[in-house]
Structures are given as structure tokens and as C-alpha cells.
Amino acid sequence: MNKVVLVGRLTKDPEIKNTSSQVQFCNFTVAVDRRFKDQNGQRQADFINCVAWRQTASFISSYFHKGSKIGVVGSLQSRSFDDQNGQKRYVTEVVVDEAEFVESSASSTGRQGSAPAASSAPAPAAGSVAASAPTAPSTAIAPDLDDAAFDADGSLDLPFEF
């Protein structure tokens, strides 16, 4: 199985391009924070090259910009090509199948008006990646629980943390 799921921020504005046969594509890089901090307490990031094709490329170039938080699902692909000097170059990138908003347009940083209003943005699919863990009890977390399952402070009484 070859499946990649990333959540991170775009390092620059994505630009849509066309192949010689007029197929739209978009190359971009996603900065993904590592789970742990280094010895100095700083969080490191990995910079993952991605490519999207056709409608997905158009969607990304229209609604995302430098600094936007994005969720992508795709597959890892390696390829090689000869550069202008005849040197063989190798590239590993994520071929994006799906892209999602991970934060609301009001909380995104960057240019004003570059992201759609919250009401016009497509809603994330059920089970999609959320920007942060919920702070209040929600029936989406435990739809079969009634109010008796919550502690006095409104938290779920579960034997584990999430």
C-alpha cells in the first residue's frame, strides 16, 4: 500500500501550470512539523514536495496561498529526469489525490480575501483531519453517549486521553 497523509503549511503560493498537452498541474511544498522538539526545545519541520493534477491542482491554486494550512492525501512517487547539463536527477514527491481545508478562512494567515468565506467552502468529509482537538464535549466524538457520560466539568469520563 502506498498512501501518504500530510497536514502542514504551504511554503509559497501555488501556481497552476499546464503540460505541453494542456493538462493542469501544480507543484508546491508543504512544511510539516515533526512530533518532537530538538535539544534546544525548537520544533523542526520537514519540507515535502507535492504535485497535484487537473481539478485538484485548480482547487489548490485557487483557495490556498503561502502559509495556508492544508491537508493532503496521496501517494509517494519517485521519478528521474535529465537536467539541462545532462545530469540524471531524482525526485521523490507526493502525488496529491485529495486536498482539504484544515483551518477556517478567518483563522488563516496571509492575504485577505484569498480563501473563500466559511459558508462557501466545501465542508470536510466525515473523519477528516481537524485543525485541533475539540475542547468541549461533542456528539461527533461519542454519538451514542448521553449527557450522563460527561463529568461535571463537561469532559468525557474515558479510560484514555485523546
Largest separation between any pair of C-alpha atoms in the chain: 70
Q: Which residues pair with 51 in a beta bridge?
A: 27, 95
Query: So what's the architecture of 4-125 in CATH?
Result: Beta Barrel (2.40)
DSSP 41-77: SPEEEEEEEEEEEHHHHHHHHHH--TT-EEEEEEEEE
**Domain extent listing, the chain:** 4-125, 132-162
pLDDT attached to residue 140: 37
pLDDT attached to residue 118: 35
pLDDT attached to residue 103: 87
pLDDT attached to residue 104: 79
Contacts of 15 (CB under 8 A, 6+ apart): 26, 61
- Digitized pLDDT (tens) for each residue of the chain, 162 residues in all: 999 999 999 999 999 999 999 999 999 999 999 999 888 999 999 999 999 999 999 999 999 999 999 999 999 999 999 999 999 999 999 999 999 999 877 665 544 444 443 333 344 443 443 333 333 333 333 344 444 444 554 444 445 454
